[in-house]
């Protein structure tokens, strides 16, 4: 098991992901895996905030920040947002990473936490899992995927379901920006991270921002959902509780 874990650490590309060894270790991998997908900007303070919040909440699973887009200065974020084919391919690569992990840790639970564009790629990763493979669930934080997107296939790969944290105040990026440039699925218009998913499906849990969340550090903005305190108090429970909903 430990040899397999070491091989998995190499596959995760720790140097490229900027992870410290204490967060992705054989001991943590034995407990399970959380793949954190940053937004179109790539790994940075926002994805680190998600990781730190999970750590502060006592999550003992491996916490792997996975860089899925192009690390191109200046133009990189916009390219990542608009690269429909590349985003699908990124989802397929993450699905393969999950299967590699499950082959060596068949009892380990797997979650994907995706922020902004990473939320859309998280959905694509779940869809890319073949028949007979599944994960515990998707945790979407202000996802930049169209509000009308059909989650049926992704839901079929999630044992617990999908939770979507959205904020109607996230207008600049997830309404104006996604109307001008499109969501990561290529559809122009409001994102599910701003208005929620329009189609009601069983096991899709929608958590809209309200003023009570300010005390936990979420001000309703696009980045507020990654605040360390908010992740600790509102998001970590979706990883820690075996059955959903986690509220």
Which residues, in sequence order, are CB contacts of 66 under 8 Å at separation 6+?
12, 17, 35, 36, 37, 94, 97
- Please give the model's pTM, rounded to 2 decimal places: 0.91
Ordered by where they begin, the domains of the chain are 2-240 (3.40.50.1820)
- The torsion region of residue 116 among left (phi > 0), alpha (psi -120 to 50) and beta comes to left
Q: Residues 40-55: pLDDT tens digits?
A: 999 999 999 999 999 9
Q: Are the C-beta atoms of 35 and 113 separated by less than 8 Å?
A: yes
Q: Tokens 């989650």 label which residue?
A: 151
Distance separating alpha carbons of residues 106 and 103, to the nearest angstrom? 6
Q: Residues 66-86: pLDDT tens digits?
A: 999 877 666 678 888 889 999
Q: Residues 120-144: pLDDT tens digits?
A: 999 999 999 999 999 999 999 999 9
């Amino acid at each position: 098991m430990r040899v397999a874990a070491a091989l998995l650490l190499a596959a995760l590309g720790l140097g490229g992901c900027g992870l410290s060894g204490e967060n992705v270790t054989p001991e943590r991998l034995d407990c399970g895996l959380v793949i954190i997908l940053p937004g179109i900007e790539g790994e940075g303070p926002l994805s680190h905030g998600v990781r730190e919040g999970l750590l502060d909440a006592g999550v003992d699973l491996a916490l792997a920040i996975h860089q899925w887009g192009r690390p191109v200065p200046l133009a990189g974020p916009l390219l990542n947002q608009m690269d429909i084919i590349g985003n699908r391919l990124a989802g397929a690569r993450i699905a393969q990473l999950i299967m590699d992990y499950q082959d060596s840790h068949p009892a380990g639970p797997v979650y994907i936490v995706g922020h902004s564009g990473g939320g859309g790629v998280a959905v694509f990763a779940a869809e890319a899992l073949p028949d007979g493979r599944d994960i515990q669930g998707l945790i979407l934080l202000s996802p930049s995927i169209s509000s009308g997107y059909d989650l049926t296939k992704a839901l079929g790969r999630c044992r617990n379901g999908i939770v979507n944290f959205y904020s109607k105040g996230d207008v600049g990026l997830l309404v104006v920006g996604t109307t001008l440039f499109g969501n990561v699925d290529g559809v122009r218009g409001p994102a599910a991270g701003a208005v929620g998913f329009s189609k009601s499906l069983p096991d899709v849990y929608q958590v809209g921002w309200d003023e009570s969340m300010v005390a936990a550090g979420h001000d309703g903005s696009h980045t507020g959902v990654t605040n360390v305190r908010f992740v600790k108090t509102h998001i970590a429970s979706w990883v820690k509780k075996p059955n959903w909903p986690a509220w």
